[in-house]
Amino acid sequence: MLRSLLAASLLCILLPATPAAAGAAPRTDADLPSLPELGGGHQVLVRYTPGSLERAAQIQQRAVALAAEADAAFGGRHSLQIYVLSRLEWEEARLRNPYGFAEVTAGGALLLPAFADDESVRRWRDRLGGAVPPPSARAVVASGQEAGALAAADAVGYADLARWLVEQHRPDVDSPWLGELLAHLLTRVALGRGFPEDLHAADTVFAGLVRGGGGDGARPLAAWRPGLPLAEQLWWDGEFGRGAAALVADRGLSRTRRLLEATLRKRKPLAAAMLFEKAPAFAGWRQVGFAP
């Protein structure tokens, strides 16, 4: 029964609301799993496994910030759905990624681990080149290592969710990898405006993903393509997370928000050469981060 319910949950949808539905709560489905629903009246619906209420509330707060930035960048109102699952629930659902990592379904639901354990900590240590990020100030019932593994899953998961959103809107870019950059910019702006205390942990995760995936210069920028296996995609997440940080350092949050709005809502073409010309730290990221 649990397997069928969890499998059905993968059909949940994350889409910009139509004008008639603006302000509506996130759409639910009659066959969603029988997990508690986090209240709050937000446009972000979070269902969580028992025992993970505190973590679910923290995830919802950050997802609300991401939804607000998505509204500003794309226009309309975006209703997001997130599931915070135990290892048993994750494995019963037969998800693509191993427990401890994030996953976004084809319909756009973000799935995150409710807890970290020895195995998920070990997996993240391997991916991050030896160490998980230090715990942040946010309270969570976990050891320092477990909290670091959960922070790593969240940093990647929010970028995965933003990537799904960007893909639905198909921005006019002259290089395919710019879509990845836009996704990381969206999450960077959301955290920078709403939860700047999380940026250090996110930066530590992205640096670790690069280190654990072969280091700077391991691949040429032109080699990026959609649909990469998890092990490869994590290295790219690390590099694009660092690229987004460099561009925001050059432009600031306000100008980066305007760039997102111009590209995603107003549909203005975005050229990589323009960004490299006007943002020296970003141009330095390209030079250091990728093979010729």
Structure tokens at 91: 């494995």
Which of these ranges, 19-33, 44-58, 122-136, 263-277, has the smallest mean pLDDT?
19-33
CA 120 to chain centroid: 18
- Position 41 scores a pLDDT of 63
Give the separation between CA 60 and CA 184, rounded to whole angstroms.
19
Q: 184 near 255, Cβ under 8 Å?
A: no
Based on its alpha-carbon atoms, the radius of gyration of the chain, rounded to whole angstroms, reads 18
pTM of the model: 0.87
Give the separation between CA 15 and CA 1, rounded to whole angstroms.
28
Structure tokens at 144: 């320092």
- Position 203 scores a pLDDT of 96
Residue type, 61: Q
User: Tens digits of per-residue pLDDT, 183-236?
Assistant: 999 999 999 999 999 999 999 999 999 999 999 999 999 999 999 999 999 999
Angstrom CA distances, 16 to 32, 73, 92, stand at: 20, 12, 30
- Please provide the size of the chain in residues: 292
- Position 143 scores a pLDDT of 84
pLDDT over 90 percentage in the chain: 77
pLDDT-derived band of residue 39, with 50, 70 and 90 as boundaries?
confident
- Position 137 scores a pLDDT of 54
Query: Selecting from 1.25.40, 3.40.720, 1.10.3470, 1.10.390, what CATH number does the domain 2-289 have?
Result: 1.10.390
- Position 12 scores a pLDDT of 38
Give the separation between CA 66 and CA 54, rounded to whole angstroms.
19
Is the model's pLDDT at 37 over the cut of 80?
A: yes
DSSP for residue 196:
G
User: Tens digits of per-residue pLDDT, 118-171?
Assistant: 999 999 999 999 888 876 655 566 688 999 999 999 999 999 999 999 999 999
Query: How many C-beta neighbours within 10 Å does residue 197 have?
Result: 11
Higher pLDDT, residue 9 or 264: 264
